[in-house]
Amino acid sequence: MQESELSQAIERYLVYLQAEENKSSLTIDNYRRSLNLVSELLSVNDPLALNKLVVRDLKAKLGTTTTRKGTKLSVRTKNYHLTVLRAFLRYLLQDEELDVYPPDRVQRFKEEERQVKVLTMEELVRLLNAPSPTTKIGKRDSAILHLFFSTGLRLAELRSLNRKDLNFDTREISVRGKRGKIRVVFLSDTAVDNIKEYMECRLDHLSPLFIRNLNDAVNAMPPGEEFRLSRISIYNIVKKYALIAGIVSDPSPHTLRHSFATDLLRNGADLRSVQELLGHKDLSTTQIYTHVTNPELKQVHQKFHDRKK
């Protein structure tokens, strides 16, 4: 069966992302899944046939599409698919010089302001102290939690770290983030202590920083990629200790990233610096954290302004 014009164009776009944009394999996989869904929902098989009515029909279908769990797509997820479609159309317009529907006319759904979940300092202390300091697994998990909070790393960034990436002398890590951008993050003294304790209990010579089956790894040959902790394993580690610590807000690895950012802002860091540390492309993304810290400004105003003489 011959592929449609739309399917062929999608494949060319994905090749372009890898060859010309140097997108990561994870990004390309996400784009592929998104564009495959969009192509299934579109009522046309040729990108040149896209018009206002076709896009409107697509948006209506996104509104009724459900996840594997049977829940409707969130507004943010629907907008992600529309953003990918816009990027695809922009490629066809600019790189292939096709007379396609203008990407800027694909309007996204209106989103409510993002609600950022952060931990209180008391909750954070309980979480960081939850792993056992006497077991290998406990030391590894403690290092993971402290590294998340010390650096604000994304889950995928932390998972991809290798031993050689750490510089204990400068207390720095060079991280390859989204869009392949390299940034430097910094280790706190507490994070360094916890990572060193974890490294001291490892008797293997494998490359990944965080591994599973610590005892079996001793007899494995480098680099040992098959021992690297999976994304879901790291995600579940955070969930596990949040439960042990009795934190009812059900935090995730990204909650620790949020907590890292808000802690910096609350202690006087400027927004541009936080943007760099988080690896955000746009300052507007970082500005979501000001909604968390802004309530504290009211307390400052009440304490220092217009006091009775």
- 176 and 270 inside one domain: yes
- 197 and 262 inside one domain: yes
- State the DSSP string of 69-90: TSPBPPHHHHHHHHHHHHHHHH
Sequence-ordered alpha helix ranges (H) in 95-201? 121-128, 136-151, 155-159, 189-200
The verdict on whether 301 is a catalytic residue reads no
- 125 and 77 inside one domain: no
- 75 and 212 inside one domain: no
pLDDT at residue 309 in the model = 44
- 143 and 264 inside one domain: yes
Catalytic residue among 163, 231, 254, 266: 254
- 149 and 288 inside one domain: yes
Contact call for residues 75 and 109 (beta carbons, < 8 A):
yes
Whether residue 98 is contained in a domain is answered as yes
- 58 pLDDT band, cuts 50/70/90, is very high
Catalytic residue among 23, 86, 146, 257: 257
**Residue after which a domain boundary falls, among 72, 105, 138:** 105
Across residues 46-66, what is the average pLDDT? 94
Percent of the chain scoring above 90 in pLDDT: 71
The verdict on whether 154 is a catalytic residue reads yes
> 56: domain CATH number?
1.10.150
Catalytic residue among 126, 178, 202, 231: 178
- Cα 143 to Cα 95, 102, 169, 211, 274: the distances in Å are 45, 48, 17, 12, 22
- 43 and 180 inside one domain: no
Q: How many CB atoms lie within 10 A of CB 210?
A: 23
Which domain range does residue 56 map to? 5-105
Catalytic residue among 154, 159, 228, 258: 154
Phi/psi-derived region of residue 178, left when phi > 0, alpha when psi is between -120 and 50, beta in every other case: beta
The verdict on whether 305 is a catalytic residue reads no
Across residues 229-257, what is the average pLDDT? 95
Report pLDDT digits (tens) over 192-221. 999 999 999 999 999 999 999 999 999 999
Whether residue 301 is contained in a domain is answered as no
Whether residue 116 is contained in a domain is answered as no
Whether residue 304 is contained in a domain is answered as no
pLDDT at residue 137 in the model = 97
- Number of domains comprising the chain: 2
Report pLDDT digits (tens) over 123-165. 999 999 999 999 999 999 999 999 999 999 999 999 999 999 9
- 282 and 138 inside one domain: yes
The verdict on whether 280 is a catalytic residue reads yes
Report pLDDT digits (tens) over 67-106. 888 899 999 899 999 999 999 999 999 999 999 999 999 9
pLDDT at residue 96 in the model = 94
